[in-house]
Amino acid sequence: MAKPSTRSTPPPQDPSEPASVAQELSFRDSQTALELCLAQLQDEELDVESMADLYRRALTYAERCESVLQQVEQQVMQWDPTQPERAPTPYAP
């Protein structure tokens, strides 16, 4: 007979919560939340439903990190030190 699991699973989350919360987070906070989700996903005793929820949350936080990086990239200006008289120009990858 299998032993009952003594490990508790995270409480169910409102499916819309991670997306709305993530939009308010800074890059650092989103990155930390993503790392926490990834650490929890490594738990071998995690049930499939919790795993799916954590995966969706991790994806939301990863998308927020990418969004913040894109916003910052658009604001970065390039300055050519060999031509100091020229004004900085927007970064273009």
**Residue 62 near residue 27, CB atoms below 8 Å:** no
Q: Considering the domain boundaries, does residue 6 fall inside one? A: no
Q: Considering the domain boundaries, does residue 30 fall inside one? A: yes
Residues 17, 28: Cα–Cα separation, whole Å: 19
What is the torsional sign of CA 15, 16, 19, 20?
Answer: negative
DSSP H/E element including 75: helix 48-75
Q: What is the domain count for the chain? A: 1
Q: How many CB atoms lie within 10 A of CB 29?
A: 16
Mean pLDDT of 66-75: 88
- How many percent of the chain have pLDDT more than 90? 47
Q: Considering the domain boundaries, does residue 48 fall inside one? A: yes
pLDDT at residue 3 above 50?
A: no
User: With a threshold of 0.75, does the pTM exceed it?
Assistant: no
Q: Considering the domain boundaries, does residue 1 fall inside one? A: no
pLDDT at residue 89 above 90?
A: no
pLDDT at residue 14 above 80?
A: no
E strands, 1-93, are: 77-78, 89-90
pLDDT at residue 90 above 50?
A: yes
